[in-house]
Amino acid sequence: MKDQGSCYEILLNYHCNAACSFCSQGNFDKSLNAPFELIAKEIYLAKKNGFTRLGFSGGEPTADKNILKAVKLAKSVGFKFIRIQTNGIRLKDYSFCRSLAKAGLTFCKFSFTNDDAVLHDSLTGVLGSWASAFKGLENMKRLKVRLGNNIVINRYNYNRLKDIIEYFLKKGISNFVVIYPIYTGSMSKNAAKLGVSLPDCAPYFMQALRFMSSIDMAGEILFLNVPPCFLPGYESNAIGGDKFNTLVADPGGAVTDLDKSADLNKKKGKPCKKCFLKSKCPGVDAGYLKVFGWKGFKPALKREKNKIKGESVYYTDNERCMIEILKKKGPSTTSEILKESQKMAICKDCSDGNSVIAAGEKLIRKKIAAKEFKKGVYIWRLTGKYDAFES
């Protein structure tokens, strides 16, 4: 059996209905689309091998004619966590969103680069793409599908990262992956226009992390392609220090194990020799080094402590899930909530009662929930009427 968080990612295509100037797949074969027979084979294989999560991406998965059939099949074979990673353009159509949710979609991860529609559209190359995606966000929120957002860092957003995150928190997205770009494809061609060095980005990464800590949501933001030395006190928020537990199947049928391939193009330099993170950090992408070199890199000599703590006014996915269950079922025990959560699209990552208790305690601090100890178990209830999906 795979780990609880193991993921099988299926790239349905390399075709896309946008032309993002930062896309790392800019020179891939856009005509390559996986036939449904291959998609089905990968879904069955993922289930047989014990993967607990299934993802569909591309290219652009919503632009693939097989997306609804693929999601429906994934649900029918028993996957309870089914995600798409999307630019959101096609999701402006509510009926399409409803069909995805009905088919079995549980998690929709968007790709908003900015809270500024004009800047976002200029990067995607599609006029109105931000507005379409934002309508899609509202549609998915209405359908109570779990929401996330990938933010690809570039010259037009790096110094506003905290503000962008705060904006989308208010719109109902509660978890974020900040992606520092790989300098291949279109991003390589546009490096001079869009690229920002890691040392220049670092203060704004830290500002975003401190903000998330101040609202007790530091665990809801991760950084991809960012060496942990740029995140002092938040080293664990850098993706790559631990196993990915992810296989990726491309549209041609080739399967890649990220734990074996993700670090192949990374290098270590002189600053890494004295860094206390050198045993866990894989280094820096070679494409980055061709553009910026090692300027500004400094070894992390000791682990910094994160001393910022606060309370959140925003809901995490687990909190949203718990609110919806208590609204539906009324006062419930921890085990009853855990069992009911497996039927909810909002959240599929509760593996034991600790996740329920943690969410419940946060709701108590928000004065939204209360608990009572009866006959050896905690009984949770709401203290009023609340909408977990209100902005």
Query: Looking at residue 355, what is its pLDDT?
Result: 87
Residues 6+ apart with CB under 8 A from 136: 86, 88, 89, 90, 91, 92, 97, 108, 110
Domains 7-292 and 317-382 share a fold: no
**227, 272 contact by CB (below 8 A):** no
Among the ranges given (54-58, 125-129, 340-344, 367-371), the one the predictor scored with the smallest mean pLDDT: 340-344
Query: Looking at residue 380, what is its pLDDT?
Result: 96
Tell me which amino acid residue 254 is.
A
**291, 184 contact by CB (below 8 A):** no
Among candidate residues 314, 354, 351, 348, the one with its CA nearest the CA of residue 334: 354
Domain 317-382: which CATH class? mainly alpha
Question: What's the DSSP call for residue 272?
Answer: G
Query: Looking at residue 313, what is its pLDDT?
Result: 81
**78, 31 contact by CB (below 8 A):** no
Q: Residue ranges of the alpha helices (H) in 173-278?
A: 185-189, 191-194, 198-214, 258-261
- Cβ of 282: how many Cβ atoms within 10 Å? 16
Mean pLDDT of 363-391: 84
Helix (H) / strand (E) element for 151: namely: strand 146-152
Listed by start position, the domains of the chain span 7-292, 317-382
Residue 261: what are its φ and ψ, rounded to 5°?
-110, -25
DSSP assignments along 312-334, one per residue: -SSPPHHHHHHHHHHHHH-SEEH
351: confidence class by pLDDT, cuts 50, 70, 90: low
pLDDT tens string 83-136? 999 999 999 999 999 999 999 999 999 999 999 999 999 999 999 999 999 999
pLDDT at 348 over 60: no
First to last CA, the chain: 39
CA dist 3 and 87 (Å) reads 29
Mean pLDDT of 134-152: 97
Domain 7-292: which CATH class? alpha beta
Mean pLDDT of 349-368: 85
CA dist 298 and 296 (Å) reads 6
237: confidence class by pLDDT, cuts 50, 70, 90: very high
pLDDT at 391 over 70: no
**216, 362 contact by CB (below 8 A):** yes
pLDDT at 1 over 60: no
Query: Looking at residue 363, what is its pLDDT?
Result: 92
